[in-house]
Amino acid sequence: MRTMETRTEKDTLGSVEVPADAYYGAQTARAVANFPISGLKPHPALVWGTLVIKRCAALANIATGRLDAKVGEVIVRAADEALAGRFDREFVVDPFQAGAGKPSRGDSTGSSWWTRSRRGPGPPTT
């Protein structure tokens, strides 16, 4: 169960309220609010497949020198944590949202997951 408390996240469209305990940010919150089409969450197989692709892409790009190894390792570790189920409740965008590519894939991006997994939910602290 999500907390009723919120935090304010900002993006290029402005400010939006996000559950305080969520690991996702403004774009995902906007997608959830603006496109409540079916009330469903993404199928676990779709989430798993997206994470495996991101993990493999990071490894391939490290191997070819196209991605800094430190950055790639962060993505791989983040994907491993997500694949282990640590962030299952964070995949919240309705799977039938047209144009859901960015919000659906965005929060599975390794650096976002890894950073947030280490500091907890909410915006970065300085």
Per-10-residue mean pLDDT for the chain, 126 residues long? 85 92 88 90 92 95 96 90 91 79 56 57 53
pLDDT score of 97? 81
Residues facing residue 7 across a β-bridge: 18
8 Å CB contact between 121 and 21: yes
pLDDT score of 25? 87
pLDDT score of 117? 60
pLDDT score of 17? 94
pLDDT score of 65? 98
The domain ranges of the chain are 37-119
Query: Environment class of residue 79 by beta-carbon count within 10 Å: exposed (0-12), middle (13-18) or buried (19+)?
Result: buried
Query: Environment class of residue 115 by beta-carbon count within 10 Å: exposed (0-12), middle (13-18) or buried (19+)?
Result: middle
pLDDT score of 110? 45
Q: Kind and range of the H or E element at 6?
A: strand 6-11
Residues facing residue 9 across a β-bridge: 16
pLDDT score of 44? 93
The superfamily (CATH) of domain 37-119 is Fumarase/aspartase (N-terminal domain) (1.10.275.10)
pLDDT score of 98? 63
pLDDT score of 24? 86
